[in-house]
Amino acid sequence: MRLSVRQRPLRAGRLLLASLALLTAAALTGCGTRSGSGAAEAVTSAKPAPPSGGRQAVVTVGYQSPTAQTWGALIIKNRGLYEKHLKELAPSDQVEVKWFDATAGSILNNQMVGGKIQLSFLGDMPSLLNGVMGITQANYRSVFLAFDGKGALGRNQAIIVPKGSPVKRVEDLAGQTVSTPIGSSSHRMLLDTLKQHDLVDKVKIVDQSVTVGMQSIEQNKVAAHSTWEPYPSLIAHKEIGTVLQPGEATKIDYLAGVVANRDWAEENRTYAVAFLRALVEAHQFAREHPEETAKIFEAESKFPPEVCRKMVENIRFDAAVYKKDLETLNGSIQFLSSLGKLEKKLELGSFVDESYLREAAKSLSRPYLTDSEQAGSWLQGKEL
């Protein structure tokens, strides 16, 4: 979400801008230095021959350090879990894992369509857009493998306003300008909030990225900004703004997941299953070791420790696919269609393939959800 703050020479304001600049630089560095030029460089780099009878391969994983509900990736990367499970399932193969950090899901989608990334951690809307690319783009097919972070009823999103803003209630936004990334889950949350208060035609919505929106809040260029974690917590931590309304008011779950190049997954099923085993282990680690997880989040994302600890508490890391999750995604498809963002309608039945996750869970001796469990609410103690 994006917030607006009156321009003022506050030291806190300068600290926020500096923090945002550092975070953006870190993400861009992740896209460049840490991952080179992506899979293209990885494929051409010279490596020693694999063990006798094995294969030599490179897998590039895309992720977003500025988006908290995709932070399952940070645990896998930091603890080398993908390498671990690749070694267990494909011991004769020599597989190099590369990581590509991006500031937005659109960057990862473009890299996937270009064949440079095989797996990506994406928010709900970018995941669906990736699925549509899989049926509209030549030489690219897409598959949704599992979920990563989940926010119950819209948790981990919020509408934020500048500190000291005269806007105290949602109704106070009438006649004001509010920013958000157009076509994002936070845009949907904002529109649903405005509908609840009969304000859809009374508020001007402008398209701004999360970073620009935060700067707009600090500089009082917009009345409010609608965004996702960790930015609402960061703005509160820096004492630059406050939450006007949390996303839970909309009662629409906020989801993030893992999408793969379908051709790659089908041709390298063992590698895809190994990745989901790593995802399940990362989620278990987050639940059982919250303090260590917060430290990993801090080290990998560069966000303040207080913010990272809050993310561990607020995000449900669960790969399992519930019926209610698919219903949420279908609602998001309708939202994107209403904006004219989808070239073709996406059928989740052909996009989502749980078989990889089921195979991963079975190989770990972890029971998957029964049909009745899948049809109900999220279950505590049954997370994958």
Is 74 a domain residue? yes
Query: 304-317 pLDDT, tens per residue?
Result: 999 999 999 999 99
Domain holding 167, by residue range, is: 11-23+154-250
Is 372 a domain residue? no
Query: 31-80 pLDDT, tens per residue?
Result: 333 333 333 333 333 344 555 568 999 999 999 999 999 999 999 999 99
Cα gap 267→364, rounded to integer Å: 22
Is 5 a domain residue? no
Domain end point (choices 231, 250, 269)? 250
276: domain CATH number is: 3.40.190.10
The answer to whether residues 140 and 31 belong to one domain is: yes
The answer to whether residues 140 and 162 belong to one domain is: no
Give me the pLDDT at residue 203, please: 98
Which token pair is 347? 């059928």
Query: 125-137 pLDDT, tens per residue?
Result: 999 999 999 999 9
Query: 210-222 pLDDT, tens per residue?
Result: 999 999 999 999 9
Cα angle 241, 192, 237; round to 5: 20
| Strand ranges inside the chain, DSSP E | 56-63, 94-101, 119-123, 142-151, 157-162, 177-180, 204-207, 224-228, 241-246, 254-261, 316-317
Instruction: Report the candidate in 138, 99, 137, 136 with the shortest Cα–Cα distance to residue 120.
Output: 99
Give me the pLDDT at residue 2, please: 36
DSSP string, 120-178: EEEEHHHHHHHHHHHHHSTT--EEEEEEEEEEGGGTTEEEEEETT-S--SGGGGTT-EE
Domain end point (choices 250, 266, 296)? 250
- Give the dihedral of Cα atoms 175, 180, 181, 185; nearest 10 deg: -110
The answer to whether residues 136 and 118 belong to one domain is: yes
The answer to whether residues 161 and 210 belong to one domain is: yes
The answer to whether residues 54 and 174 belong to one domain is: no
The answer to whether residues 140 and 264 belong to one domain is: yes
Is 373 a domain residue? no
Give me the pLDDT at residue 54, please: 85
How many domains does one find in the chain?
2
The answer to whether residues 200 and 288 belong to one domain is: no
The answer to whether residues 38 and 65 belong to one domain is: yes
Total-model pTM: 0.87
Domain end point (choices 191, 225, 250)? 250
